[in-house]
Every structure is written in C-alpha cells, then in structure tokens.
Amino acid sequence: MEIVAVKKVGVVFSGFGSQFVGMAKDVYDESRFAQEYFEEAYNCLNINFVKLCFASSDEELSKVDHAYLAIFLTDLILYNLLTEAKIQPTVLAGQDVGMYAALFAAGGFTFPDGLYLLNKYAGFYQAFLEQHKNLRFIKINGCTLHKMRTLCRELSNDQDDQLCISAIINDNCQIVAGQHKMIKKLEQALDKLALANPVQYSPHNAASGVHCELAQDLINNFKIYFTKVDFKDLQIPVLSTINGKLITSGKAVKKELLDQELHPVIWPKIIQGLAECEVVIEVGPGQSLAAQIQQVYPDKIILTLNKKEDMVKIRAQLDLDSQDWTDYEE
C-alpha cells in the first residue's frame, strides 16, 4: 500500500542564515538514514559533518564552505521524515542552498553529485568573496521595486561601478549588491528619499549569494564541473527562483543552478507558485520562509519541520493518523 497525502502539500527548503549548531541532532541521533547520509558525505568530501553540525561553533558553521553543505544535509534528513510518512509534495522550492536540496529531493541528481556540485560552488563562492572584499549587500524596506530599479540604473556607471538587485522579497523590500562606494551612494539616495517616505536599510550577509551579473566570473569557473554530472528529469516539479516557473527536465535543472546566481531571486513568484497548495512546510533549520509565506497567505496552513517532534503537528494537519487509507490502495 502506498500512502499519499490528500491535501496538496508544498515544501520549501531553508537556505543560508538558518544554520545553528545542533540543528536536527534529534533526527540524527534516532535515524539510521540520517547517520548513513552523514557517513556518505564524509566519504565523499572527507569532512566530519557530525562534529561540524553538532560540536563546532557558530563562527565555524557559518563559513560558506561549511554552512552550505551542512544546511544541505540537514534539509535532506528532515525531508526524509516526510518521505517516511509517505507524504508526497505536489511542488518543491528552496532558497539558495535550499534549491540544491529541492532539486535533489525531486530526483534531479544523485546525493554524491549534489555534494560534489555544492562543494565546488561553495569553494568558488568563498574565493569570490575573498577576492571582492569591498562587495556589500544591503536590505531595503519601504522603497518600491520600480523606484529601486530606477535608482540602481541611475547610480550605476560601468561594470565596476554597478548596483544590482540581488533579491526581491516583495514590492517594497529588496536586497541590493555593489561595491562599498556604490552602496554608500545608494544609502545617500535613500536618505534623501526617506525625507518623504519611511525607507529603512540595513547590511545583509553576502554569504546568501550574489544572484546578479556580478557573479559572471564565478559561474564561468563553476559551470566547467557540470559536465561530470548526470542531470535527470524531476519526479516532483520545482519552482524556479528566477521566474517562479516549474522546473521539470534535467536540462532545466542544470540551467537553473547556473542562472540563479546571475539573476535576482524573485520571492513573490515562488510564493505565487504555492497558491494552490493547501499546506506549505518549510523543511530545514529555518522558519523565516514560512513566516513570509504566512504573511501572503494568512488563511493557509503553514508549518515548519525543524525537528522530529514537528512531525506530530504535520501528521495531525494532514490527517495521517485518522484516515482510513485502504481507499488509496492500488
């Protein structure tokens, strides 16, 4: 008998910034599946993920080349709890490293290939940040997307003096990337704008990804390694972070992983793609994505899966413990 969830379920995987020491340790302690994933990751990369995830420091875990892989592992061992409960999502999505988790969960590549690609990307991105120490990111609230695009265009000069929108959170909230001097120019422009409008801005962690044309050199180096990976058609559609369209083919998986670093994350498109889901679950160590989705869909059931005990609420919301599943036997 194969059990499927009656309600339409969307799953969103946590990304960078959600990591913390001890995340999903309860799952690791009790799940042979999780332990085997950690062992395989160690065999592939020679990194002690047990020590990194459960016995390191916040500083050590937050390094790009550590955090990306640790979050990927955590997302996957938590997702396995849904798989064990025979919960079949109708659509998947993910933020930065969470996209790797979504594409793997959908069948886009093998676990070793996912580790291989993510490890290569994290290494290139860490080197990119070290080479571009003047690169800054800021998060702006209170400025319309149209106005922000206009400001970035007007203040940018040439390739070295660019301001790029890295992520669109909503129509009045964006993340912008640029060299330190360019960010200062933008802040000055925003200060003038704030005289008439309540505009706020604050620094944003660069480790969540560039997501604009400033990353072109990084991607040129990264894409060389894609020839070694067999990208497969997906068993579950995944929402693109670029335009919110459904990714279903292996060819589209490869394109998404490259293009997502050169184009801004358009979060409203992802949320729009979850509209038909009756239940949305953020899987991973984070809760911020679930909170953002709840703001847009206040009447929708939005849940988080950060630890094993969260499955109690998930099972209850999906009526997994009360229904007569014999109707779903093939």
What is the pLDDT at residue 192?
A: 87
The whole-angstrom distance between residue 286's C-alpha and the CA centroid of its chain comes to 10
**The CATH number of domain 9-129+215-261+268-322 is 3.40.366.10:** yes
Q: Which of 3, 8, 84, 85 is nearest to 327 (CA)?
A: 3
Q: pLDDT, tens digit, for every residue of 206-222?
A: 888 899 988 999 999 99
Q: Which of 216, 275, 265 is nearest to 243 (CA)?
A: 265
Contact in structure between 13 and 284 (CB atoms under 8 Å): yes
Q: Quote the Cα angle for 309-38-318, to 5°.
A: 30
Contact in structure between 90 and 6 (CB atoms under 8 Å): no
**CA–CA gap between residue 181 and residue 134 (Å, rounded):** 8
* Tally of helices (H runs) and strands (E runs) in the chain: 14, 11
What is the pLDDT at residue 327?
A: 37
List for the chain the helix, strand, coil content (%; round to 5).
50, 15, 35
Domain ranges (residues) in the chain:
9-129+215-261+268-322, 133-213
91-94 vs 163-170, strand pairing mode:
unpaired
Tokens describing residue 161: 């003096």
- Low-confidence stretches of the chain (pLDDT beneath 70): 1-6, 158-160, 321-330
**Looking at the domain 133-213, which fold is it?**
Alpha-Beta Plaits (3.30.70)
**CA–CA gap between residue 172 and residue 207 (Å, rounded):** 23
Contact in structure between 277 and 239 (CB atoms under 8 Å): no
Tokens describing residue 76: 């996957």
**CA–CA gap between residue 151 and residue 178 (Å, rounded):** 13
Q: Quote the Cα angle for 7-18-66, to 5°.
A: 125
The DSSP line for 273-287 is HTTT-SEEEEESS--
**CA–CA gap between residue 327 and residue 138 (Å, rounded):** 53
Q: Which of 84, 108, 112, 110 is nearest to 94 (CA)?
A: 108
The DSSP line for 23-68 is TTHHHHHH-HHHHHHHHHHHHHH---HHHHHHSS-HHHHTSHHHHH
Same fold, 9-129+215-261+268-322 and 133-213: no
**CA–CA gap between residue 110 and residue 115 (Å, rounded):** 9
Element spanning 145, H or E: helix 145-155
Contact in structure between 143 and 176 (CB atoms under 8 Å): no
